[in-house]
Amino acid sequence: MSTAVEGQVLRARALESLGRLPPFSPILNRLLASLAREDVSFVHISDVIEKDTVLAGNVLRLVNSALFGRGATINSVRHAVALLGVNKLRNATLSMSVTRMWNQVKVPRGWSMSRFNLHSVATAMLGDVAAQAAPIDYAEGAFAAGLFHDLGRLLMAIALPDEYEQITMLSASGHFARWECEMEVVGFTHAELSADALERWNLPAEIRSAVLYHHTPELAQAADGQISLSRAVAAVDAYANANGYSLSDTDAGDKERATTMLLALGIDEASLPALLESFTAEFTAIRAMF
């Protein structure tokens, strides 16, 4: 167990490993900056996508995929944005850009970047779908909160591989939640580290708060009559873990419990199958892009 001082040192070292991630592309910088704006325009997003030929190509592949079933081929990014909307296209391009960056990271033995990407994007996409069907506070931040909620786990694995292995072994015993094992070994949680990283990236406070409390949503605040974004992230994280999109085998949870957590967000039980079908279709289409 780390002392308070040792924990502070380890936390600082883990946070500094942000500098070991590949530098943001100009496109990713602009996409992240747009998360703090409520008036992101059709023209702005189109302009961002068009400046990256790989990204633009993937966007056109996505909009022309069987998921959207267009009768005619779409060969313009601006047409794609007009058809799918600014937020959906921004979310798709964020997924593609972030996973492309993460795939360049040198990670320790035993870490699966493929599983990390799948879990992060699945949580993000399901969060976005859920936020459209339930009274979620700051629903527009659901995608980004889901995408980055486990960033701290990646930073721990990169900067603190020995401690990360200890945490994994302790978690595998099944006696404690992973975040409790993190507190025991290093004195802080991956949720705290994720929120620290998002603050450095200047993401909105609402997204940082959702990430910070996604394992302790009872501590989060929400507007009257609404569900906190942290609680939504907790539910979709649990659902992703329980349905084959977990970062590790020890993270996989109970499907019935995860479904109950989704319904507790205020999603109508009768509409849940259609919501999950929509998520599955969108996720299947986009995972082919990374």
pLDDT at 71 over 80: no
Mean pLDDT of 105-124: 93
Residue 86's pLDDT is what? 78
What pLDDT is attached to residue 69? 62
Shared domain for 88 and 162, answered yes or no, is no
End-to-end CA distance of the chain: give it in Å, rounded.
38
Q: Are 173 and 184 in a shared domain? A: yes
CATH of the domain at 151: 1.10.3210.10
Q: Are residues 94 and 195 in the same domain?
A: no
What is the pLDDT averaged over residues 37-50?
77
pLDDT at position 2 is 64
The reported pTM is 0.90
Quick one: 150 and 244 in the same domain?
yes
Task: Give the model's confidence band at 35: pLDDT under 50 very low, under 70 low, under 90 confident, else very high.
Answer: confident
pLDDT at 122: 97
Same domain, 175 and 258: yes
Asked if 147 and 133 sit in the same domain, the reply is yes
3-state secondary structure the chain: CCCHHHHHHHHHHHHHHHHHCCCCCHHHHHHHHHCCCCCCCHHHHHHHHHCCHHHHHHHHHHHCCCCCCCCCCCCCHHHHHHHHCHHHHHHHHHHHHHHHHHCCCCCCCCCCHHHHHHHHHHHHHHHHHHHCCCCECCHHHHHHHHHHCCHHHHHHHHHCHHHHHHHHHHHHCCCCCHHHHHHHHCCCCHHHHHHHHHHHCCCCHHHHHHHHCCCCHHHCCCCCCCECHHHHHHHHHHHHHHCCCCCCHHHCCCHHHHHHHHHCCCCCHHHHHHHHHHHHHHHHHHHCCC
If asked whether residues 146 and 272 sit together in one domain, one would say: yes
Residue that is last in its domain, among 79, 104, 129: 104
Whether 128 and 240 map to the same domain: the answer is: yes
Last residue of a domain, one of 65, 84, 104: 104
Task: Write out the residue range of the structural domain in which residue 92 sits.
Answer: 23-104
Domain boundary among 54, 71, 104: 104
Residues 53 and 116 placed together within one structural domain of the fold: no
Number of structural domains the chain divides into: 2
The reply to whether 258 and 160 lie within a common domain is: yes
10 & 145 share domain: yes
pLDDT digits (tens, 9 = 90+) for 150-168: 999 999 999 999 999 999 9
Check whether 38 has a pLDDT greater than 70: no
Residues 90 and 208 grouped into a single domain: no
Asked whether the beta carbons of 81 and 42 are under 8 A apart, the reply is yes
